[in-house]
Amino acid sequence: MANKSAEDFHQKVVESVQSFQCCLLERSLRSCVYNTSLFNTMTVRLTLGMYYVFVLDWLTVFQREQILVLRLEDYAANLKKTIKKVFDFLSVGPLSEQVEAALTKRPMSNTRRAKDRSLGPMFPATRTLLSQFYQPFNSKLASILNKKAFLWSYS
């Protein structure tokens, strides 16, 4: 659903955090993260950002060296470097200039919806709430990946 305002988004975040915390009172973290009923009722899809839980599941099947975890911020900041990292990881490089050009000219797909862009940035209180919510998950993710870059920091 589209957000009507930054205030509306803030309220949806508050409600979604509360819904998730209520789930945790009765179920395990993993059960709440994979709970499709909860996911479908939360207006903010908080569980999608709980990478730690998903990575732990992948590590039960794959060895750590078989998994490459990238940050969207790095992808957005330097698409060519990120694509090179993926190709190197997969041992399928190097990229030809033609392929590289085709991959890097595509528009970013993980951006705000057009109708939400006019709402402006989220409230500082919303950012704080989300940072506090995700902090323990991001700390665990940074720990298992041994990469401090997965800790959010806003200066």
Confidence of residue 100 (pLDDT cuts 50, 70, 90): confident
- Please give the Cα distance from 27 to 53 (Å, whole number): 14
**Structure tokens that stand for 21 in this block:** 């915390």
Report the percentage of the chain scoring pLDDT > 70: 88
Residue 17: other Cβ atoms inside 10 A? 17
Higher pLDDT pick, 111 / 80: 80
Using CA atoms, how far apart are residues 26 and 19, in angstroms rounded to an integer? 11
pTM over 0.85: no
Are 1 and 40 spatial neighbours (Cβ–Cβ below 8 Å)? no
Whole-number Å distance between alpha carbons of 49 and 107: 22
Q: How high is the pLDDT of residue 121?
A: 86
| Separation between Cα atoms, residue 23 and residue 152, nearest integer Å | 25
Q: Calculate the CA 73 to chain-centre distance.
A: 10
